[in-house]
């Protein structure tokens, strides 16, 4: 790791997950395959949008309200594999893939958090999943959660946000802890690779069954073989997959942070929980000046999470002990318990039916 850029990497962690398609990771032998991911390659519940694109969705369980899970920037529905099956024992719960990620089709128009939220809204209506909804968003998935809620307040029953990205976050962080000057490649992250992968698919230099010298289809080793095969086939099916992911990863945060600003946002007495991390893993030789920058960003994040909780008179910001950014994977039971608490509140208040019923 380039320590000079660690502050930026921390900021990236706050706004989106490590993109599974770009960052193969190592796991202990006993965790070689994560079998909980297997249900997430089932496309039987994928929804065909009016323009012909498929939005991948995985729903489990029965009952109302319906819990909607929105993953972080580089993640897909399987990010919820340690949480969703447990929630399904209590009520219906659906996870989804934003365009260009997981098993959702890419798009020829610009994908933003606003268009993603609109796609989710359309998909739920097409699938006749009409709410009421308990919305759950992790990291940058909070942007789509906010925007979906803004357009569906009458169907909104509760909300749980997990280490959420803050509206106007890049500007807030730059004001508190100005970042070092970075080259274009550092700013783009995996987007440059994904664009070159798309180009190789278009020219025939890359195929599903052929060699992959640049790691276009690289996936973490703990992904089961069938999951890797499904994701590779999806990526190879159309260069638009790579192009959509590249554009969203390069620009989704900066544009989304502006799109999601809404000074009039007010959730009245909505059950609202903000779960926030308490651990930032500093390397042993981490420079003191960079540590101060990161600590300043952590403090600003904590202030922002309190602001989000204050959007409801019943909002609670709960700091999760010994947890990093991926609370739903590191401490899944905390997330399950919080969501189930919201579901119980909704049912106790008699709000678990749609406004149309």
Look up the CATH number of domain 3-348. 3.40.50.1820
Domain spans in the chain, listed from the N-terminal domain onward:
3-348
Instruction: Provide the whole-model pTM.
Output: 0.91
Asked whether the predicted pLDDT for residue 28 surpasses 80, the reply is no
**Percentage of the chain exceeding pLDDT 70:** 87
Is residue 37 within 8 A of residue 99, CB to CB? The reply is no
The C-alpha atoms of residue 300 and residue 287 are separated, in whole angstroms, by: 20
> What is the pLDDT at residue 4?
38
Give the Cβ contact number of residue 32 at 10 Å. 10
Asked whether the predicted pLDDT for residue 333 surpasses 80, the reply is yes
Query: What does the pLDDT look like over 175-191, one tens digit per residue?
Result: 988 876 654 444 556 88
> What is the pLDDT at residue 285?
87
Record the tokens describing residue 110, joined without a space: 């610009």
For 95-120, what is the mean pLDDT? 97
Average pLDDT, the chain: 89
DSSP state letter for 276: E
For 263-270, what is the mean pLDDT? 96
Is residue 200 within 8 A of residue 216, CB to CB? The reply is yes
138 to each of 30, 163, 259, 282, 283, how far by Cα in Å? 27, 6, 17, 22, 25
> What is the pLDDT at residue 188?
57
Q: Which of 12-21, 46-55, 74-83 has the lowest mean pLDDT?
A: 12-21
Asked whether the predicted pLDDT for residue 212 surpasses 90, the reply is yes
For the chain, give percent helix, strand, coil, nearest 5. Answer: 45, 10, 45
Q: State the pLDDT confidence band at 59, using cuts at 50, 70 and 90.
A: very high
Query: What does the pLDDT look like over 283-297, one tens digit per residue?
Result: 888 889 888 988 999
> What is the pLDDT at residue 19?
41
Instruction: State whether residue 88 is helix, strand or coil.
Output: coil
Asked whether the predicted pLDDT for residue 208 surpasses 80, the reply is yes
Asked whether the predicted pLDDT for residue 1 surpasses 60, the reply is no
H helices of 162-319, where? Answer: 169-176, 184-188, 191-203, 225-237, 239-259, 288-309
Query: What does the pLDDT look like over 69-102, one tens digit per residue?
Result: 999 998 999 999 999 999 999 999 999 999 999 9
For 231-239, what is the mean pLDDT? 97
Q: State the pLDDT confidence band at 354, using cuts at 50, 70 and 90.
A: low
């Amino acid at each position: 790791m380039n320590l000079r850029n660690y502050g930026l990497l921390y900021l990236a962690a706050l706004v989106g997950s490590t993109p599974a398609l770009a960052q193969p990771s190592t796991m202990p032998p006993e965790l070689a395959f994560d079998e909980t991911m297997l249900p997430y390659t089932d496309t039987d519940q994928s929804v065909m949008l009016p323009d012909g694109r498929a939005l991948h969705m995985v729903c489990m369980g029965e009952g109302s309200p319906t819990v909607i899970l929105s993953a972080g920037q580089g993640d897909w529905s399987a990010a919820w594999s340690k949480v969703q099956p447990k929630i399904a024992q209590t009520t219906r719960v659906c996870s989804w893939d934003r365009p260009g990620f997981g098993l959702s089709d890419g798009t020829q128009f610009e994908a933003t958090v606003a268009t993603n939220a609109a796609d989710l809204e359309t998909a739920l209506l097409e699938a006749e999943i009409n709410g009421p909804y308990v919305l759950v968003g992790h990291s940058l998935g909070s942007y789509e959660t906010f925007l979906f809620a803004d357009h569906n307040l009458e169907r909104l029953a509760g909300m749980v946000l997990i280490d959420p990205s803050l509206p106007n976050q890049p500007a807030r962080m730059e004001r508190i802890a100005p970042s070092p000057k970075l080259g274009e490649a550092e700013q783009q992250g995996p987007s440059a690779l994904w664009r070159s992968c798309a180009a190789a698919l278009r020219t025939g230099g890359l195929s599903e069954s052929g060699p992959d010298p640049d790691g276009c289809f690289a996936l973490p080793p703990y992904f089961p073989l069938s999951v890797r095969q499904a994701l590779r086939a999806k990526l190879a099916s159309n260069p638009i997959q790579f192009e959509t992911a590249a554009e969203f990863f390069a620009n989704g945060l900066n544009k989304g942070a502006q799109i999601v600003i809404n000074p009039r946002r007010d959730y009245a007495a909505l059950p609202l929980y903000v779960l926030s991390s308490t651990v930032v893993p500093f390397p042993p030789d981490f420079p003191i000046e960079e540590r101060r920058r990161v600590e300043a960003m952590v403090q600003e994040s904590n202030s922002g999470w309190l602001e989000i909780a204050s959007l409801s008179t019943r909002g609670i910001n709960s700091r999760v002990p010994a947890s990093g950014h991926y609370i739903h994977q590191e401490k899944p039971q905390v997330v399950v318990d919080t969501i189930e608490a919201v579901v119980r509140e909704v049912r106790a208040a008699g709000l678990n039916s749609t406004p149309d019923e």
